[in-house]
Structure 1
Amino acid sequence: MAQTPPKSTESDADPRRHAPATLRNRDAILAILPQAFGSALQILEIASGTGEHAAHCAPALAKAAKGGFIWYPSDWDAENLPGIDAHAKAAMADSGQPGCIAPAQRIDVSQADWTPQWTQPGQAGPIEAIFCANMIHIAPWAAAEGLFSGAGRLLPRNGTLTLYGPYRRNGQHTAPSNAGFDASLQSRDPSWGVRDLEGEVAPLAQCNGLSLHRIETMPANNLIVIFRKD
């Protein structure tokens, strides 16, 4: 079952926040990412939230890559960035993979022509793949539009955009729990909601030069959906 956005815990001394769902889904996500990213070494994460996916996945991927791997976390909320960096620092120290996670930066994909700070407007940056978990259903549709527009602009040919979360399939929820989750989201904000993969998300991808490449069924009625730049 898809989970509602968790309440995070935080102390004055430690900026790290914790999302309980991450502990349940991170290993399943990590198992798919090598196939999603392929040979890509420069990964941009959109909507990193607590930063726990970066902290868990990046060191393992960096170790397998044997050099050159960098995960770039980001979030629209600047208040999340210190916690993301704190998780990253601890994970890199524990794993012996220093430098595999870059400092977190603020990116709001709902803004037109958003560009990571290490690229110049109008020029292709070093990003080879993009990962985004649990965003497009807990955000206005403009965030999905901006995410795909940026992916179409920034990714090289055959670069991938990998999404994780709940989806409707051909207009239908995949489980009663997801239908309830969708209703809960829309009661909180009518612009939120579980998106339809075939009716909304895939057409948006196509409009931005990306094709649906692969769908992986995940625990708790979630999916990993991989789009590839044409």
Structure 2
Amino acid sequence: MEVLQRILPADSVGDVLEVGSGPGQHCAAFARGFPLLRWQPSEVDERFVPSIRHHAAGLNTVLEAVVINAASSTWPVDVPANRFLAVVCINVTHISPWATTKGLVVGAGRALQRGGHLIIYGPFKINGAFKTESNERFDTSLRAQDPEWGYRDAADVVALCVASDLHLAEPYIEMPANNHVLHFIKH
């Protein structure tokens, strides 16, 4: 929340898309912390929509969840071009195929307004290296579940973003539990 508060000042007004909302607890918490923003939750699996509704109950700044397969080359009409002040993605890139990260970046590049923010939170390799042995073990366990999963190298994500006119706004932000925030701005 603190990083978001630094990136999106309290007086920010506009729409924010969360890609990969899961059960919806993050979107609901952000809506409480940013009452002037409208939050658009999304999830690839429509079975999460009732849980998202439950977490957002009573919050008039959380829109009805939409189903988005981030890996798809086209996102639903509910996600029009140049609409969003920010796209937020939490703990998705390492538990999905690389195609999902690619689609997230391309989709965010279309969905964000000029000057908008792409904010990706999760565990990453930095310059090809794991931060700790436990990160490497976790990556190995993820790849055992699905060979297309695993930690992404932050530099590879940056390269994808540059190709979609999204530029790194600041150095990688270190977070608890060996996670990072990658913050990009659409030019």
TM-score between both structures, scaled by the size of structure 2: 0.93
Tell me if 1:223 matches 2:180: yes
- Name the amino acid aligned to 2:39: W
Question: Higher mean Cα deviation, 36-45 or 200-209?
Answer: 36-45
Q: Tell me the residue number matched to 1:129.
A: 86
Q: Which residue of 1 aligns with 2:15?
A: 42
Identity of aligned residues (%): 37
Give the RMSD, CA atoms, in angstroms.
1.4
Alignment correspondent of 1:181: 138
Q: Which amino acid aligns with 2:6?
A: Q
Partner of 1:78: 46
Aligned to 2:62: 101
TM normalised by structure 1 equals 0.76
The gaps in structure 1 that reach 5 residues or longer are: 1-29
Structure 1 residues 136-158: Cα deviation after superposition (integer angstroms, max 9, x where no partner): 11001110110100111121111
Aligned residues: 184
SS at match of 1:192: coil
Distance 2:75 2:163 in 1: 18
Q: Which residues of 2 match residues 1-230 of structure 1 at below 5 A?
A: 30-38=1-9, 39-62=12-35, 65=36, 69-89=37-57, 93=58, 98-117=59-78, 119=80, 124-198=81-155, 200-214=156-170, 215-230=172-187
Deviation at 1:212, TM superposition (A): 1.0
> How far did residue 58 of structure 1 move?
1.1
Q: Distance in 2 between matches of 1:31 and 1:71?
A: 17
Q: Distance in 2 between matches of 1:132 and 1:101?
A: 16
4+ runs deviating over 6 angstroms: none
Contact 2:105 2:161 in 1 (8 A): yes
- Contact 2:82-2:110 at 8 Å conserved across structures: no
For 2:74, the aligned partner's letter is D
Gaps (5+ residues) in structure 2? none
Q: Give the 3 Å change call, closer, same or farther, for CA 131–184 of structure 1 in structure 2.
A: same
Largest Rg, 1 or 2: 1
Q: What is the CA distance between 1:55 and its match in structure 2?
A: 1.4
Structure 1 or 2: larger strand share? Answer: 2
TM-fit CA distance, 1:125: 4.5
In 1, distance between residues paired with 2:79 and 2:178? 36
